Amino acid sequence: MASVVTCYVSTFSGMSDVSKLSFVSLEVDADGVLEKGAEGWRFTEVRLRPTLKIAREEDRERANRLLEKAERSCLVARSISARVTMQSDVSVALDTTVLQTVR
């Protein structure tokens, strides 16, 4: 799962740079569903929960579009057989002194 999260963060960060979307912070939590089949254990689903803080309310719609596009574009997520789902949360930060912090 760590590779899916890392790829997602890198993909989003690159897209936000190209789109000139400044953000205050991005945190991504993830969990997965592990099932045992005939060939052994494997992930059948990976759930991403990105939390993005932006500086301006007017960037919310574009931020949501970029989060969804990053999910569709992440090379690792597209390469694994597990289903990847996402539930994002975008909020406007009260303190915007540090831009583009990724955790």
Task: Give pLDDT tens digits for 40-53.
Answer: 999 999 999 999 99
Task: Give pLDDT tens digits for 78-87.
Answer: 999 999 999 9
96 pLDDT tier (thresholds 50, 70, 90)? low
Q: Which fold has domain 2-102?
A: GMP Synthetase; Chain A, domain 3 (3.30.300)
Contact residues for 22 (Cβ-Cβ < 8 A; gap 6+): 16, 54, 55, 59, 99, 100
Q: Is the pLDDT of residue 95 over 90?
A: no
